[in-house]
Amino acid sequence: MAVFRPWKLGTASKTMTRRRTNGLGGILLAASFILTASGVARAADDEIEIGMATPLTGPAAESGKYGEWGAELAIAEINGQGGVLGRKLKLVIEDDQTTNPGIVAAFNRLASNPDIAVFLGSVRSTQVHAMDPDVRRVAKPVFIGGTDPNLTHMGNPWFFRCRPNDTYSAKVIADFGVHTLGFKKWALVTSTDAFGSSGNKLLTAELSALGASVVTSQGYANQTPDFTPVVLAIKGSDAEVIGSYFTYEQDLGVFARQLRQLGVRLPWVGSPSITDTAALHLAGPALWGTYGIADFNADSSPEAKRYAEAYQAAHHVPADQFSAWTYDAIHLAAIAIEKAKSTDPKALREAILSIRGYHGAEGTYDFDANGDGLHGYNVVKNDHGKIVFIKRVDFPPP
């Protein structure tokens, strides 16, 4: 099996189709022939296509851009080292418009192309749930970033998660808030979608197990324009600390600013969205001093640092989990194709599940039978706008 070294950037041109336009720009390799899994001869210069549904428009367009950049960086590295099975990778992107109907439409446009071997789905759990029926029908591997634990426990054999699920984020938030910060009375602010509802349930249970209590639990609908009622409920409670699961950075930014405007200065420990580059841009000083549970941090491992340096050099912005998980997903897809020696979906599925000990930007991948590859989080702090690493917490795979 070829080993792809993420820190060795290739000089080959990035190969990508965006919004279904033509890619590659006429680069042709020497023609030789290989045999596909179905036994049909094809030119080795044929590209292996990877489909990606990501928000190019809508409220998550900024984070969608970062995800696109992470995937492109991985494509360039792999192609610069000769590709996979002697073939270049090609990224085909469709806009999910930051909506559930949008990602269903984007995925189906991609799936109509029989040459796409592997897909990258959404980082939003609510969108991954929306994709589920069509992913089952298409029956090809889909790497996802949504962290609702249910996504890999509802019988879909084609989802493979490249971020740790919220079973682990809830454990780390609760343990850090109770044992390190010393707070027992919590205010929870969570989206009412699948991601936030699951996070609320898991964090409430973890806090209870540690002898802490939730004194107020505030749910909100995605893209809420005004969080004043939520902030006032927290202000009127005897909460010592805030715990949160925000789906979209825009909502987090509005809440953070209104929290400070209304004089609430409680400590705050949030799920990964509190550390996202887009959230930092939107909230600014309103997030200074907060803590976060991040699946990616540049100081968490040598591989993360190498990736962060390459990404920063290419795009002049810090890397975050939006770009890191798509970067890892492309490398994992390449490893699986090499292991399977084909793009046959069933062979690829078995190859992905067999990956153990792969050191990616997000952490060390050890896939379990459900399709979860990662099992830990980083604890970080916002120090005047800079995300500072505190510690890494890993759990043994189930």
In the chain the domains, ranked by start, together with CATH numbers, are 16-164+300-367 (3.40.50.2300), 166-294+379-394 (3.40.50.2300)
Give the angle 145-150-155 at the CA atoms, nearest 5°. 100
Residue 398's pLDDT is what?
80
Residue 388's pLDDT is what?
97
- A 10 A CB-CB count for 86 gives 13
For the chain, the straight-line distance linking the first and the last C-alpha, in angstroms and rounded, comes to 26
CA 174 to chain centre: 22
Predicted structure pTM score: 0.89
- Strand-pair category, 291-294 with 268-270: parallel
Residue 164's pLDDT is what?
98
- A 10 A CB-CB count for 342 gives 18
Residue 6's pLDDT is what?
46
Ranges of residues in the chain with a pLDDT under 50 are 1-4, 6-14, 19-44
C-alpha distances (whole Å) from 116 to each of 4, 94, 142, 304, 312 are 21, 13, 11, 28, 29
Residues 6+ apart with CB under 8 A from 305: 298, 299
Q: How far apart are CA 237 and CA 248, in angstroms?
A: 25
Residue 206's pLDDT is what?
98
Q: How far apart are CA 390 and CA 327, in angstroms?
A: 24
Helix ranges restricted to H, the chain? 61-80, 100-111, 125-138, 166-175, 194-209, 228-235, 249-261, 277-283, 302-315, 321-340, 345-353
